[in-house]
Amino acid sequence: MQRGSFSAMDVKGASDIEHMSPTSGLQHELWPLDEIDPSKAKFPCCLVWTPLPVVSWLAPFIGHVGICREDGTILDFAGSGFVNVDDLAFGPVARCLQLDREQLLMQCCFPPNLAGHTCKHGYMHTKYGTAITWDDALQSSKSHFEHKTYNLFTCNSHSFVANCLNRLCYRGSMSWNMVNVAALILFKGHWINWKSIIRSFFSFAVVLCLGIFFVGWPFLIGLFSLSFLFMGWFLMGTYCAKSLLEC
């Protein structure tokens, strides 16, 4: 071949590289995840949930939530300036939901560099805090929440998970908050086993029975009123007065 000449194969290869989409190369970087292993508390790319002491005794739909790295390590915002690593701070995982990493490539992007966003939320995503891998997003949120004050009603574990999902732009959305994170794990999460179901509802059932036995039906009315107050607070703070729950 003469110097300076190009074969048809060279031209075709160069054209393929030029027209390769940013996400096509990234598809190969998503290595297979390990299996979920509750015995070792490993839940790769999962949301995980456990009941909260006292609070879940009165409102069993309220609990503590965390998010997991690609190797299955659990991260959860468990106290002021403290993001717990390796397990949930308030007990073993009762429910889990494995998230689909492919959603990040189909509806957003893991850019090859911090200025390489191509999704519709590109500017907002970069301003919010971009991430180039799943674990990178979780680490950024972890660093952010290590300077936050924990409050069950305004800045809690759901806030941390929502922050992670927004950095990931999961499902092409940057509107994750306490309410839709709670709804996601509540309606789509899977129980680990039958013991998890008992552990999650046993205390509530005991409190309910004792309350009705000693107080009567007014206790039941009060208990449900408390649940509606919880729901009303989070719904109002999330969608009507967002400054209340900024975290």
Phi-psi region of 41 (alpha: psi -120 to 50; beta: other; left: phi over 0): left
Going by their DSSP bridges, the two strands 95-98 and 190-191 should be labelled as antiparallel
C-alpha angle 103-106-111 in degrees, rounded to nearest 5? 95
From residue 209, give the alpha-carbon distance in Å to each of 10, 51, 58, 113, 196.
77, 19, 12, 57, 20
pTM above 0.75, yes or no: yes
Per-residue pLDDT tens, the chain, 247 aa: give them: 445 444 444 444 444 434 444 444 444 456 788 999 999 999 999 999 999 999 999 999 999 999 999 999 999 999 999 999 998 999 999 999 999 877 665 555 555 555 555 566 655 666 666 677 889 889 999 999 999 999 999 999 999 999 999 888 888 888 899 999 999 999 999 999 999 999 999 999 999 999 999 999 999 999 999 999 999 999 999 998 877 777 7
